[in-house]
Amino acid sequence: MTETITITTADGGAMPAEIATPAEGSGKAIIMVAPIFGIEDGTREMMDDYAAQGSVVVTPDMFWRTIPGTLGREGEDRAKAVERSENFDVAQGVKDLADIVAFVKALPRSNGKVAVFGYCFGGRFAYLAATRLGVDAAVSFHGVAIGRHLDEADNLACPLAIHVGDQDPVVPMDEIEATKAALGAKPGVEIRVYPGVGHGFTGKGRANYDEFADGESNRAAAALIAAM
């Protein structure tokens, strides 16, 4: 089960987040950056799964400065989710993420090793954590907008895995190919493209869920955590 916590940011703000911890002992930490809809039950399930494997897992409300909280996937809520993602201040988001990294490193149950997992909206932030924030590993699951930051490829400072479907309408193949060209030859980088798979393939119970891609990407992510 996850618990609600508050992370104090560098500018004195109070960022809401949720945390899942292992049953005993200390472990590596994972920061999960959720999709545009926020921290859903599926997010909490993934947090609990990785906590059961021995990691401390923290998921922040990245939208706390504008339209906070979890939103539904239909109707007015969906429109709000799209609005807050399109208007998101990426530079401020990276600053907040830096504060989250510092927070999880200092947790009593954390051993100081930190990975960032990004889902959909969060994929960009997993990548930027790998190029800017000195984390130990990063994984993007059907992450969007990485292609906007490929000029930072030479700043990559940790292992990075990118998992994406070749039928993802928000991550077109030309962006995937550009990402491969910029990052694919770098040490510690894995870019896996799943044939016939669309956006949001880790979302269990949803139309775009793909059991194979979900399983493979999470097995690879667990191996990356184990190697940190």
Q: What is the model's pLDDT at position 136?
A: 99
177 SS3 class: helix
Q: What is the model's pLDDT at position 226?
A: 96
Closest CA to 225 of 54, 96, 106: 54
Give the chain's length.
228
Tens digit of pLDDT for each residue in 22-80? 999 889 999 999 999 999 999 999 999 999 999 999 999 999 999 999 999 999 999 99
The string of DSSP letters for 20-59 reads: E--SSS-EEEEEEE--TT-S-HHHHHHHHHHHHTT-EEEE
Task: Note the Cα 211 to chain centre separation in Å.
Answer: 19
d(CA 213, CA 142): 10
Q: What is the model's pLDDT at position 67?
A: 97
Counted domains in the chain: 1
- Rounded to whole angstroms, the maximal C-alpha distance in the chain is 45
Buried b (16+ CB within 10 A) or exposed e, 101-125: bebbeebebbeebbbbbbbbbbbbb
In eight-state DSSP terms, residue 101 is H
- Tell me which amino acid residue 165 is: G
Q: What is the model's pLDDT at position 189?
A: 98
d(CA 130, CA 112): 16
* Residue 101's pLDDT band (cuts 50, 70, 90): very high
Q: What is the model's pLDDT at position 223?
A: 97
In eight-state DSSP terms, residue 94 is H
Mean pLDDT computed over every residue of the chain: 98
Residue entry with tokens 């039950």: 41
Q: Which domain holds residue 90?
A: 3-227
Tens digit of pLDDT for each residue in 128-186? 999 999 999 999 999 999 999 999 999 999 999 999 999 999 999 999 999 999 999 99
Q: What is the CATH number of the domain that holds 70?
A: 3.40.50.1820
